Structure 1
């Protein structure tokens, strides 16, 4: 198990391995034990602690720009977006800048392909903000804010208003897709080239009360997949890249039919081969595995494995697609699973200890 006792600005000698940057929840409201952002060398197994930056409040979601060596963070329960430089050799992390979003509780950050704009999902205020980005990667305060329109879903607690929960650029980099948990729909937005100002192009309506949370694209086919938080389903959608339109195809249950407790789905990833899809459940504390055929239309459930921890909020594939990392927020661990190249089955291999992990980004 990895030691997480690294101190700021510690040197790790000549090792030059790829890096993992981990955001950790920090506040009592989040039932958290984290202190900020931690950086690990991932050139071996398990990961080795490199550096950490304490005093950063609730870095809830991270987005990496490997070319610049910059990581962006949205901050839970706040209206701040921050940026950090990470030294590729030592993993030393340093603040680059902070900026204000136009809404509260940022839960996802997307970087425009031009790298001139950041897009932030403001969960609490039902909006998506555009923040300019300077040539060095530092963000400026939001210049535009788009309020997402539509009637709230039927859930009396989770759907009182719009709650965008993800921001993902489509594979061609022309559209921004935003699942809205509160409105039971996925918005397709178009950024204006010179300003980054967003406009609504289309909306995909999902089942009332489903609570769409995150979205992932197929690596080759014009298909996308949405995990619905409230009813724990996976939805496949056809993607019209020319028109910017999502069309729902199938919805598939993702919890075991023998499970009767409370659970909410969290993260969804598609492996680089396009043959497997994975989804995490908080409460059941499971990772579901689906297979995808040549059409990519209907995910087929293949089974579940325990996440080996509590509340698997976030998952990320290794850059080569051979491993899945599952961040168990309430058991202070990131569990590495090896992926069988033939069946897609998961086998736990290593555990990294880090408090209240909320997100992982690779550099």
Structure 2
């Protein structure tokens, strides 16, 4: 956090499509509105970002053929590069997270997950310590002819790393040993589902997997004690079958666990689900405020949506009774791809 306690949001973008790189924006404490304060463009296509727990470092993938990960210090208003980008020994990294003293990247193009160690000061080691290459395929051609890891993140207990693979219709659970990812279990989802992203319920008992190739969410039971995922049911993200490919993208769970939100790019909508035990009930859909909502995030009752093709970030206030988003504003960010927001009270 910079500027006397002011919170910021950081926005990723595709520089190959005219994006400005990693964008910093001030967050209005009254209503969550964003005001862009600057950007840094030293890395190509920083499409996904994550913050360190202490809020002092920001990490970004470089979603290019020769994929890389980069680190930034965020103690000033605009992020500052903290060392050179580090190759991930994989292509097209689309997501990253922090796990057990490492940055993990999900590499869509090569169908792999990479671990890059972190130094004590939060900077990246000079090279990756391990790459886990997925195996398998699915029935949807051409999207599932090979593995396509799309997301990787720790589970709520911090014991496991969970990776979602669109190409193999599966979710893998791993651990780290001496810097290398070690497979633990693989859970198969419905063939052709094309899982893209997963979000955990705050209780740690459930996980929600959104499909890109099938416009639905799979509700799973998660057991953090032994690292197992069990699919339970599916919920459609739209009230009626879409006239064209829908391509759902992001999934977010409310901090209190009452609602789940899903963005769908082909329809330019946000779907709202009420959590009812081991199932989801579709409450309704609202326009996303732009075109091609690639990712969404929730922070202090505000839902932020990165609309890639319309080049903006839209924010919504959330109805506490229904979970329905109410559009409150937007800011222009060409080729926007994701938004992360500093936690309240973060003080680097």
Bin of the TM-score, shorter chain as denominator length? over 0.9
Distance of aligned partners of 1:146 and 1:57 in 2 relative to their CA distance in 1, 3 Å threshold: same
* 2:296 aligns with one of 280, 304, 315: 315
Deviations 1:74-103 (A, max 9, x none): 11123110000112xx51211002211021
Distance, in Å, in 1 between the alignment partners of 2:78 and 2:150 is 30
The equivalent residue for 1:56 is: 43
For these two proteins, the number of residue pairs brought into alignment is 336
The equivalent residue for 2:88 is: 101
The equivalent residue for 1:139 is: 124
1:337 aligns with 2:325: no
Distance, in Å, in 2 between the alignment partners of 1:205 and 1:40 is 40
Distance, in Å, in 2 between the alignment partners of 1:277 and 1:224 is 11
The question of whether the paired residues in 2 share the 8 Å contact of 1:68 and 1:137 is answered with: no
Q: Which moved more, 1:274-283 or 1:60-69?
A: 60-69
The equivalent residue for 1:165 is: 150
Distance, in Å, in 1 between the alignment partners of 2:43 and 2:226 is 40
Gaps of 5+ in 1: 1-11
**Two-structure CA RMSD over aligned residues (Å):** 1.4
- C-alpha displacement of 1:16: 3.6
1:69 aligns with 2:64: no
Gaps of 5+ in 2: 343-348
- C-alpha displacement of 1:51: 2.0
1:285 aligns with 2:268: yes
The question of whether the paired residues in 1 share the 8 Å contact of 2:283 and 2:322 is answered with: no
The question of whether the paired residues in 1 share the 8 Å contact of 2:305 and 2:338 is answered with: no
Distance, in Å, in 2 between the alignment partners of 1:204 and 1:255 is 25
3-state secondary structure, aligned to 2:150: coil
Deviations 1:173-207 (A, max 9, x none): 00011110000011111122xx2311111111111
Distance, in Å, in 2 between the alignment partners of 1:221 and 1:111 is 18
The equivalent residue for 1:8 is: none
Distance of aligned partners of 1:221 and 1:96 in 2 relative to their CA distance in 1, 3 Å threshold: closer
Distance, in Å, in 2 between the alignment partners of 1:191 and 1:101 is 16
- C-alpha displacement of 1:262: 2.2
* 1:126 aligns with one of 106, 111, 117: 111
Distance, in Å, in 1 between the alignment partners of 2:53 and 2:103 is 15
Deviations 1:300-357 (A, max 9, x none): 1111001011100010101x2x111011000011111111111111100011111111
Q: Which runs of 4+ in 1 moved over 4 A?
A: none
Distance, in Å, in 2 between the alignment partners of 1:175 and 1:239 is 11
3-state secondary structure, aligned to 2:48: strand
The equivalent residue for 1:300 is: 281
